[in-house]
């Protein structure tokens, strides 16, 4: 059902029936064909401000217009703030700034972007229809060669080593140009590997067990002999330590754990998993090296609690 609309003159005449002619609200509402609540609201609006009451559709009172203007200004300022947060990426200026505007037009109006970044709208739209320059096409071809060198090095080459590669291939270009292209493509050399990790923990001499296993790697049944060790792998976030427990009867890994640190908790977690996965067996011969993790007090307490002699 379409909502009824009333002109300003209609509302004023309805209010006059009550205020000047002394007609009751109920009678006036019946006469003009509106609900009594609506008519009472018109009377209140006219009483509060007879000059600015009923501004009409699409019009606002002065204070409402000012409030709407301030809200629009706040929205614009917030957008400019968010746009300028990315200013660090736009230091190159020129095509980079224009490409930024083209990419973010769906987030903010193009006019806001152009005004915040100091670019004329006419210049932006002219740039969109302009074919790539000779320099831009040359950069595209050079970027392919840079990418090939960078990926061939398994992402370990920085701009200078890539530049040397291209010079060996007979391609004349500047180092700063290579740096700029790699920066725009977000290609950064992976950090060098750190020094190989070493076990610097204190070893408890009283916890060092005799070599009971003595290279006897056969087991008559499951859960008789377990061997344990841990290793480390280099990842993009640093060294990752992996501990494992193997049953010599089935040659299967029965417990494992991973950690970013080489602590006693690493090997303890692997042994706890093996114990629970194998139904908490008793008197399992546990063989490991004499590292500080395996001779630590928490690990030795766990072995003793399950009656597992160390070897």
**Which residue blocks in 33-61 are alpha helix, DSSP H?**
36-48
What strands lie across the sheet with 252-259, from one edge to the other?
A: 252-259, 238-247, 225-235, 285-287
Q: Which two tokens stand for residue 174?
A: 């500047």
127 or 241, greater pLDDT: 241
What is residue 44's predicted lDDT score, i.e. its pLDDT?
A: 82
What is residue 241's predicted lDDT score, i.e. its pLDDT?
A: 94
Domain borders along the chain are 63-129, 134-184, 205-305
Q: Whole-number mean pLDDT of the chain?
A: 81
Cα separation, 61 vs 74, in Å, equals 20
* DSSP label of 196: P
pLDDT tens column, 184-227: 888 888 766 566 777 766 666 666 666 667 777 778 888 888 99
Q: Are 271 and 245 in contact (CB under 8 A)?
A: yes
Cα separation, 289 vs 292, in Å, equals 9
> What stretch of H or E contains 228?
strand 225-235
Check whether 164 has a pLDDT greater than 90: yes
- CA proximity to 182, closest of 149, 205, 133: 149
Question: What phi and psi values does residue 75 have, to the nearest 5 degrees?
Answer: -60, -45
pLDDT tens column, 124-140: 888 888 888 888 889 88
Question: What phi and psi values does residue 286 have, to the nearest 5 degrees?
Answer: -110, 115
Check whether 75 has a pLDDT greater than 80: no
What is residue 144's predicted lDDT score, i.e. its pLDDT?
A: 92
pTM above threshold 0.75:
no
Question: Which of helix, strand or coil describes residue 234?
Answer: strand
Return the minimum-mean-pLDDT range out of 24-38, 39-53, 86-100.
Answer: 86-100
Check whether 103 has a pLDDT greater than 90: no
Q: Which two tokens stand for residue 257?
A: 């754990």
What is residue 238's predicted lDDT score, i.e. its pLDDT?
A: 80
Long-range contacts of 271-275 (CB under 8 A, 24+ apart): 271/228, 271/245, 271/299, 271/302, 271/303, 272/302, 273/245, 274/226, 274/245, 275/306
Which option is the CATH number for 205-305: 3.40.50.720, 3.90.226.10, 3.30.420.10, 3.40.50.1100? 3.30.420.10
């Amino acid at each position: 059902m379409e909502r009824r609309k009333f002109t300003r003159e209609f509302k004023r005449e309805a209010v006059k029936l009550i205020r000047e002619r002394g007609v009751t609200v109920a009678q006036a509402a019946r006469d003009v064909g509106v609900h009594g609540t609506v008519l009472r609201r018109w009377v209140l609006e006219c009483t509060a401000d007879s000059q600015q009451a009923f501004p009409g559709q699409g019009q606002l009172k002065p204070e409402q217009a000012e409030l709407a203007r301030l809200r629009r200004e706040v929205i614009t300022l917030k957008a400019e703030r968010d746009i300028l947060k990315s200013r660090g990426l736009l230091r190159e200026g020129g095509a980079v700034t224009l490409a930024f505007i083209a990419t973010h037009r769906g987030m903010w109006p193009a006019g806001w972007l152009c005004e915040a970044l100091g670019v004329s709208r006419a210049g932006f739209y002219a740039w969109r229809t302009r074919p790539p320059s000779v320099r831009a096409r040359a950069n595209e071809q050079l970027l392919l060669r840079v990418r090939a060198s960078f990926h061939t090095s398994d992402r370990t080459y920085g701009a200078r080593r890539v530049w040397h590669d291209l010079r060996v291939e007979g391609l004349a270009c500047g180092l700063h140009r290579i740096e700029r292209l790699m920066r725009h493509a977000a290609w950064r050399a992976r950090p060098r590997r750190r020094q190989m990790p070493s076990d610097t923990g204190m070893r408890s001499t009283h916890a060092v067990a005799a070599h009971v296993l003595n290279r006897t790697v056969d087991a008559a049944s499951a859960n008789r002999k377990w061997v344990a060790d841990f290793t480390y792998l280099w990842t993009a976030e640093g060294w990752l330590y992996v501990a494992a427990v193997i049953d010599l009867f089935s040659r299967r890994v029965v417990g494992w754990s991973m950690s970013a640190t080489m602590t006693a908790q690493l090997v303890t977690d692997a042994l706890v998993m093996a114990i629970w996965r194998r139904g908490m067996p008793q008197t399992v011969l546990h063989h490991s090296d004499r590292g500080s993790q395996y001779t630590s007090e928490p690990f030795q307490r766990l072995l003793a609690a399950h009656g597992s002699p160390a070897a």
